[in-house]
Amino acid sequence: MFKALLLGSVLFATLLATSFAGSAQSMHDSWNTLLSNNVVTINNGHSTAVDYVAMQAQRNKLTNYLNLLAQVKKSEFDEWSNPKQLAFLINAYNAWTVELIVSNLNTKEYPNLKSIKDLGSFFSSPWSKEFIPLLGKTRSLNDIEHGLIRGAVDAQGKATYNDPRIHFAVNCASIGCPALREEAYTGDKLNQQLEQQTVRFLSDKSRNFVKDDTLNVSSIFKWYGEDFEKGFNNTQSLEQFMLLYAQAFNLNQQQKMTLINGHMDISFLDYNWDLNANH
């Protein structure tokens, strides 16, 4: 009898663990569906555009997903692997950015909303609005990106994630931003997804290109230059990071040597803040 009870308890615990694993695995499924249905690839695959009107029509699904994210406790989050945490935070940032757009979208006036920046004020940017219930606090988009992602440190004071490729994954609902990926990020595929997003953006000749001895690049590298100097894949400078992706930038051998020797100028292009909408 005892053995039977013990066996039953073990079986129940196994089924319960499997159930929790399945739940965790499916956490981002609804977001994945929204993205695959409403984000289209443009610009020869380098960019995407979002059908915000369709997203608004399916807002109940978006709301359900955001509520699911809000239910995750900080203690639970802390037990996850770093890739799973980072995928969660990137998805949260992107999904709440979409929510910010659709919650301010009047389809009768659309497309009068020209830019996410229109949703801010003289005293406050849209990224500083605290409207996001996440990990036990009401947060802003800035808090997710700069606090939870870029600002996270371990017990030794070292950056928890230290992956500048996140800048090609978080999406600010603007044409100048790297593409909003057409699928959700997941811990098990995160490295591959971040690498694809990085190459996808850096190989876009409308936003990153060499002319003469000048490497013209997105202003992302100006705003977050320090993130590319913290040892990611043993790179300690922006130039070293760029050399990792010399093929994406389409640098020839002479241009690579010019960059290595510090003789290549780096110029930062103007950023396009127009809404990344699929009209």
CA distance to 89, 97, 112, 124, 217, per residue, from 146 (Å): 11, 15, 30, 16, 22
From residue 247, alpha-carbon distances to 70, 164, 166, 176, 209 in Å are 40, 18, 20, 22, 12
Radius of gyration in angstroms for the set of CA atoms belonging to the chain, rounded to a whole number? 21
Percent of the chain scored above 70 by pLDDT?
Answer: 89
Q: Which pLDDT does position 107 carry in this prediction? A: 57
Contact of 149 with 161, CB cutoff 8 Å: yes
Average pLDDT, the chain: 89
CA–CA separation, 204 and 273 (whole Å): 17
Average pLDDT over residues 4-26: 41
Q: What is the rounded average pLDDT of the residues 39-57?
A: 95
Q: Mind listing the pLDDT tens digit for each residue in 175-209? A: 999 999 999 999 999 999 999 999 999 999 999 99
Q: Angle, to 10 degrees, between the axis of helix 59-70 and the axis of helix 82-102?
A: 140
Q: What pLDDT is recorded for position 111?
A: 62
Quick one: pLDDT band at residue 110, thresholds 50, 70, 90? low
Higher pLDDT, 105 or 127: 127
Secondary structure (3-state) at 157: coil
Over residues 113-136, the mean pLDDT reads 90
Average pLDDT over residues 264-274: 95
- Give the model's pLDDT for residue 23: 41
